Amino acid sequence: MATPAIAAGDYGLGKAREQAGLPDTVAGERTIPGVVGKVVAAGLSLLGIVFFLLILYAGFIWMKARGSTEEVDKAKDIIEGAVIGLVLVTAAYAIANFVFTSLTSK
């Protein structure tokens, strides 16, 4: 059996791992930043799908409006809201990414 001091030794493998670009964790081990990153990526993917569906729905409403200004205005409002939402989500992500990168950089 190896003692904890020997088992915890790096022996230069950490440097080789960094040069190879390998993760710092054992395969299958989850870290909090890794889990948060996956949740954020999934949320942004979901919001991208919602944006696409809203644009598709608004386009369908606009096409079937047949000149009705009420329906065209409704479609324009949906498109406007979807674009504003996408801009806000993108800006929030960019700001959060900038802040966390600034806080964690050495």
Give me the tens of pLDDT residue by residue for the chain, a chain 106 residues long. 445 555 555 556 667 767 777 666 665 567 777 778 788 888 999 999 999 999 999 999 999 999 899 999 999 999 999 999 999 999 998 998 888 788 777 6
Q: Please check whether residue 46 lies inside any domain of the structure.
A: yes
Q: Please check whether residue 77 lies inside any domain of the structure.
A: yes
Domain that holds residue 53: 30-104
Which distant-in-sequence residues (6+ apart) come within 8 Å of 52 by Cβ? none
Q: Please check whether residue 43 lies inside any domain of the structure.
A: yes
Which distant-in-sequence residues (6+ apart) come within 8 Å of 93 by Cβ? 40, 44
Predicted TM-score (pTM) of this structure: 0.65
Number of independent structural domains in the chain = 1
Q: Give the 3-state secondary structure of residue 76.
A: helix
Rounded distance between C-alpha atoms, residue 25 and residue 35, angstroms: 13
Asked if residue 57 lies in contact with residue 99, where contact means CB atoms within 8 angstroms, the answer is no
Q: Please check whether residue 11 lies inside any domain of the structure.
A: no
Q: Please check whether residue 54 lies inside any domain of the structure.
A: yes
